[in-house]
Structure 1
């Protein structure tokens, strides 16, 4: 399992990467995708939608279950990964790359600092 150092994490197993353009890229962690199993469908809020911190921003459907996704910070959905329509399995094969889900314009960029560090997340899930 991988946990990139350039990401912050949530208790709900989302990762967040602050980009150079001020947007944050959001997806689910390697741990989350492994727990869900084979992902067959992903549905996100539309571009322009305002989301609240810890409010829903989409759902991910796996063979075993459907799981709601929760926004790590408040902001506006700037873009949704269009490739997930045809290749939702990207979330399984490359959760921190091609499997990203949304890009948010944060209401407050400093909110990212309040999320879990890689070490705090690994401790929470009991990873080495």
Structure 2
């Protein structure tokens, strides 16, 4: 199972890639996509441009389970990857290449799990 060292992780199996001082891209981990099975739909519940702390902002539907998307902090949405609407199963092939959202927040990255901490979580 692939768990890149250069990303940050959440206990809800999301990865965050830092792309600026306060900007990140978010996707699901390799572990999560394997648990979900073949992904056939991604649904975002984005009524505003802010995701509230620990609130469900979407779902990933697969052949084995439905996976809620939850973040541990409040974020401002800067972009949505609408290309996943056409081929959500691309995530099964390369989970760290396909992101859901681009977000911005003034947070400390120490609030997230490192790859070593995430490996311990999924054991």
Q: Please, what TM-score do these two structures have when normalized by structure 1?
A: 0.87
- Equivalent residue, structure 1, for 2:111: 114
- Equivalent residue, structure 2, for 1:6: 6
Q: CA deviation at 1:73?
A: 2.6
Q: CA deviation at 1:53?
A: 2.5
Q: CA deviation at 1:62?
A: 0.6
- Equivalent residue, structure 1, for 2:101: 102
Q: 2:12–2:71: 8 Å Cα contact kept in structure 1?
A: no
- Equivalent residue, structure 2, for 1:65: 65
* Secondary structure at 2:59 match in 1: strand
- Number of aligned pairs? 123
Aligned-partner Cα distance in 2 for 1:26–1:47: 18
Structure 2: gaps (5+ residues): none
Q: 1:17 to 1:72 in 2, by over 3 A?
A: farther
Aligned-partner Cα distance in 1 for 2:72–2:8: 9
- 1:11-59 per-residue CA deviation (whole Å, 9 max, x = no partner) reads 1111111113631111110000001100000012448521122221211
Structure 1: gaps (5+ residues): none
